[in-house]
Structures are given as C-alpha cells and as structure tokens.
C-alpha cells in the first residue's frame, strides 16, 4: 500500500518514510517495490539529488514481514514461479543506485533493515538504535550482498557473530565499527539526517555522482546478490527454515494471547 511508504520531495531531497508502525515497519513486497521504484526513479530526476530513508513509530524496521514472506514463498513453491519469492526490487535498486543515500535509524533495525544501511552513503542513528541480522536463526542466509559488504566494513569476526550468533549492535558500536556516521539523541536524528541530505543535494551533482560511482562496484554487488539469492531460496525449502518460521509464528500467537 502506498501509505506504508510515504514519499516527499523538497530542496533536492527525496524522502522515503517507512510508515507501518503498527507492524514495526515490517516490509512487504509492495513496500519493497515502492522503495525500489523511488530509488530507481531518482536517478533521472534532477530535483531528487539525494535520497533520505527514515521511519515512523518506535522502530526503523523489523525486516521482512514474515507472514507476507511465507505466503509468497508458499505460492512460489506451489506454482513453480520463483519470482513470487525470489526477487526483491529494493535490493536491486540499492545495488545500482546513482543518487547518494542517507539513512536515519532509530529503535530496532532487523535483517534487511541493517543490510540496506551498508548501501547508504551516510548513516545517522538515534542512541536507542539496535541492529541485528538474525538470518541463521530463521534457517536463512545473508542477503543484499551483505556477505560481502558487512565483513568489508566491520571485519570477519564481528560480521560472523552478527550473522550466525545473531549478536545485536548498538548505535555507539555501529559508529565505532564504521557502519554509521553519528549516534545522536532521538530528538536530533531527523533534523541532522535531513541537514546532511540537503548539504549533499547542494553539491555539484556530477561530481557527487562520479565520486559515489568510484567508491562502489555495482556489478560485483549485483553478482553477490544473485549468489546469495540462490542460497536464500534453497534454504527456504529446508526443514530448518520451516521449523524456524513455525516457531516464530507460535511465538507471535503467544504474544497476542498474553
């Protein structure tokens, strides 16, 4: 639904706001599509020189909407249509993004809520931010080329602990490790991130675009996403993943009943 991702453009900044707070901004396929389309569209929009990603509610994002994800997976398995559960338009758009990306993160950021940050050029975090990538807990594997980008950013040992042990990372650790630029009081987060996005938008568009391109290898990122995606899809069919999803669903029902 369009209301789950709000889009605003002003002063050269395209702001994408996750707006599903009642579900901790868990991302559905429709939200991925809207985000991906907006990032792709900015590449050819002279009035969108920088993209800012932020969120409403008390969390940045809980990651994949498990119900939506499981339903698409079941449909894909039953029909043989891998596109129902394999493609993620946001990840592809992040890999080929031409415009600088700025993120303002608060509360919990889970799974893709973390891996998308590794494609952002500037990341600001509220002091209450907590990052986790519990892919293995669900019987799955990293995505968004994070098996490449996270170890490159923070080192193998720290990345392995995040991926395999599900260890969470605070905002202060994220800054110290090079995931984020600053950790700020929550009240200052949006104004600081927006000011940075506006500052980027005021710079020479061609110089900014070339600088971003020189710092990235989109073909390598896309290739790693393809490899990760094949493993991800294969893992979805394993007993371990089925058990993990069932346990997650049971836990959620228990929380509703309490």
Question: What pLDDT, on a 0 to 100 scale, did the predictor assign at position 134?
Answer: 94
Cβ burial of 44 (10 Å; 0-12, 13-18, 19+) is exposed
Q: What is the pLDDT of residue 48?
A: 98
Reading the chain (258 residues) residue by residue, the pLDDT tens digits are 689 999 999 999 999 999 999 999 999 999 999 999 999 999 999 999 999 999 999 999 999 987 766 665 555 555 454 544 457 999 999 999 999 999 999 999 999 999 999 999 999 999 999 999 999 998 999 999 999 999 999 999 999 999 999 999 999 999 999 999 999 999 999 999 999 999 999 999 999 999 999 999 999 999 999 999 999 989 888 888 888 888 877 776 665 555
Residue 257, pLDDT score: 59
CA distance 249 to 241: 12
Q: Residue 112: CA atoms inside 13 Å, Cβ hemisphere, count?
A: 24
Could you give all domains of the chain from N- to C-terminal order, each with its CATH number?
2-257 (3.90.226.10)
pLDDT the model gives residue 75: 54
Q: Which tokens is 207 given?
A: 């110089």
**Among residues 177, 193, 195, 173, which one has the least CA distance to residue 185?**
193
CB 132 within 8 A of CB 108: yes
Q: Name the pTM for this structure.
A: 0.92
Cβ contacts of 209 within 8 Å, gap of 6 or more? 98, 99
Identify whether the C-beta of residue 113 lies closer than 8 Å to the C-beta of residue 121.
Answer: no
């Amino acid at each position: 639904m369009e209301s789950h991702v709000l889009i605003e453009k002003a002063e050269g900044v395209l702001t994408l706001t996750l707006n599903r707070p009642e579900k901790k901004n868990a991302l559905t396929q429709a939200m991925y599509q809207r985000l991906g389309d907006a990032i792709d569209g900015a590449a050819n929009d002279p009035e969108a020189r920088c993209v800012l990603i932020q969120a409403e509610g008390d969390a940045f994002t809980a990651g994949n909407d498990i119900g939506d994800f499981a339903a698409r997976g079941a449909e894909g398995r039953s029909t043989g249509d891998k596109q129902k559960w394999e493609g993620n338009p946001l990840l592809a758009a992040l890999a080929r993004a031409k415009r600088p990306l700025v993120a303002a993160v608060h509360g919990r950021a889970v799974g893709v809520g973390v891996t998308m940050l590794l494609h952002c050029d500037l990341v600001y975090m509220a002091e209450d931010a907590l990052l986790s990538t519990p892919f293995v807990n669900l019987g799955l594997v990293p995505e968004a080329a994070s098996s490449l980008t996270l170890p490159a950013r923070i080192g193998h040992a720290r990345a392995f602990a995040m991926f395999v042990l599900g260890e969470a990372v605070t905002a202060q650790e994220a800054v110290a490790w090079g995931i984020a630029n600053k950790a700020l009081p929550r009240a200052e987060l949006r104004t600081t991130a927006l000011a940075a996005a506006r500052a980027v938008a005021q710079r020479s568009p061609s110089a900014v675009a070339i600088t971003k391109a020189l710092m990235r290898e989109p073909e390598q990122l896309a290739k790693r996403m393809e490899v990760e995606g094949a493993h991800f899809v294969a893992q979805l069919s394993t007993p371990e993943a089925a058990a993990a999803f069932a346990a997650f669903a049971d836990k959620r029902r228990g929380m509703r009943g309490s």
